[in-house]
Copies of this chain bind each other. A is one copy, B any other.
Amino acid sequence: MTYCVAITVDEGLVFASDSRTNAGVDQVSTYSKMHTFSGEDRQIVILSAGNLATTQAVMAQIARDVNQGAPLHIHSVHSMAEVAEYVGNVSQAQGSKHGEAVARAGFSVEATFIVGGQIASLPPQLFLVYPQGNYITTSEKTRFLQIGETKYGKVILDRIIQQSTPLEEAARCALVSMDSTMRSNVTVGPPIELLSYRADSIKLEHYLCLGEDDPYLIELKRYWNEHLLEVFRQMPRFQWGQMPLKSVYR
């Protein structure tokens, strides 16, 4: 499994991804799911989830298109929406190569991507590219996109992330979201990659790769868990009501 999240706030963008891949519980590996593309007028980040062969084929094709000067490549497109469209097309093309054979074996070639960044003076943007090649972006009220094992980590994002959230806070929230997911799903695992992009800088601001035994990650887990328990314990007790019990048969 995989968990990737990208957040857009006024100050910029945050990306986080785990590194665990598994094809069955006895075939667990570590692969980066975060890919960056830097150009003079653009900074683009792609996060990937789903079939590893497809995501690798897609990333290889993106690199080949640049090297071979294809008519359309990641450094020639004019907007982040075009990047999403392009990644969707490459994903469809690569998936269809082996789609039928893989489906016959009972697996799926599907891959999902988060594409984010900034091109020239256009605003920074995030897109989620579905396996079918179509895509969505964020809105004023929906400031993050997730792929992979999304539910465990969504709760804290829903509570914290707003348009005005500072970039550092958004990055920390992405880590807490990642921690919650790792706690509840063992197939999401470290190292955790975390990246921040400050709006209009056209360069990556900060990058962290946190291993399982990283002191900050350990401290974050400890702090969060301890204080959550404390808040919970100090929560107002409720008064049990005296309402009658409903019953189908008593």
Contact B183 A158 (CB under 8 A): yes
- A52 lies within 8 A of chain B by Cβ: no
Contact B239 A36 (CB under 8 A): no
Cβ–Cβ < 8 Å partners of A155 in chain B: 152, 155, 180, 183-184
Interface centre among A32, A37, A160, A247 (most CB of B within 10 A): A247
Cβ–Cβ < 8 Å partners of A219 in chain B: 236
- Min C-beta distance of A58 to chain B, whole Å: 10
User: What are the interface flags for A101-137 relative to B under an 8 Å C-beta threshold, 1 for contact and 0 otherwise?
Assistant: 0000000000000000000000000000000000000
A-B contacts, 23 of them at CB < 8 A, read A35-B248, A36-B245, A36-B247, A36-B248, A37-B249, A63-B248, A152-B155, A155-B155, A155-B183, A156-B232, A159-B228, A160-B229, A160-B232, A172-B237, A175-B238, A176-B232, A208-B238, A208-B240, A208-B241, A209-B241, A223-B235, A224-B235, A228-B228
